[in-house]
Amino acid sequence: MKMMNFRIFLFAALICTALTSCFEDDDEVYKYDGPAVVEFNQATLTTGSYTRSVESGDGTISEQVNLVSPHLSSDQVINFSVDAANSTAVEGTHYSTTGQFTIPANTSFGDATVEILNGAIPAGETRTLVLVLEGNDVVGVSENYKSITISISPN
């Protein structure tokens, strides 16, 4: 009986060894070598279309932005803008923003911030704010995940 158990154990060990030797080297499979780009994190989780709902006067909100690239050795100041053609919110009345944020050196994330002001919005209506990443001279923009929508309702 001991000999039978030993043979089963030996056979199982050989099968495990044979199967694990067939795996590809993970370092090469998952190595990104494309251009450095930024993308809104929430847009990647919702197949590109993401709307965040907030209330007038909510204060500062932030949206995580991912750097898709190996870490960069210097801070990256990333620009973003408001898509005026698709936004109904008015700067200075409904929101305020600097239009840029920093992804620190040797990290993969930064936060785009917008202050939601206590602007007058009639009951039953909303104001739309569309943010669009612009990147910088070093970091481009992921075309599929470059924008998000913020829906501002009355408080």
pLDDT tens-digit map of 137-149: 999 999 999 999 9
Residue 92, phi-psi category: left (phi > 0), alpha (psi -120 to 50), beta (remainder): left
- Strand pairing partners for 129? 150
**Counting Cβ atoms within 10 Å, is residue 153 exposed (0-12), middle (13-18) or buried (19+)?**
middle
Cβ-proximal residues to 144 (8 Å cutoff; 6+ apart), any chain? 39, 43, 48
Structure tokens that stand for 100 in this block: 């840029």
Q: Read off the pLDDT of residues 63-77 as tens digits, 9 standing for 90 and up.
A: 999 999 999 999 999
The domain ranges of the chain are 34-153
Task: State how far the Cα of 53 lies from the Cα of 31, in Å rounded to an integer.
Answer: 36
pLDDT tens, residue by residue, 73-107: 999 999 999 999 999 999 999 999 999 999 999 99
Pick the CATH number of 34-153 from 3.40.630.30, 2.60.40.1740, 3.40.50.620, 3.40.50.720: 2.60.40.1740
What string of DSSP letters covers 9-65?
A: HHHHHHHHHHHHTTS--HHHHT---S--EEEEHHHHHTTT--EEEEETT-EEEEEEE
Over residues 41-51, the mean pLDDT reads 87
Report the distance separating Cα 77 and Cα 3, nearest Å: 68
Q: What is the mean pLDDT of the chain?
A: 90
Q: What type of residue sits at position 3? A: M
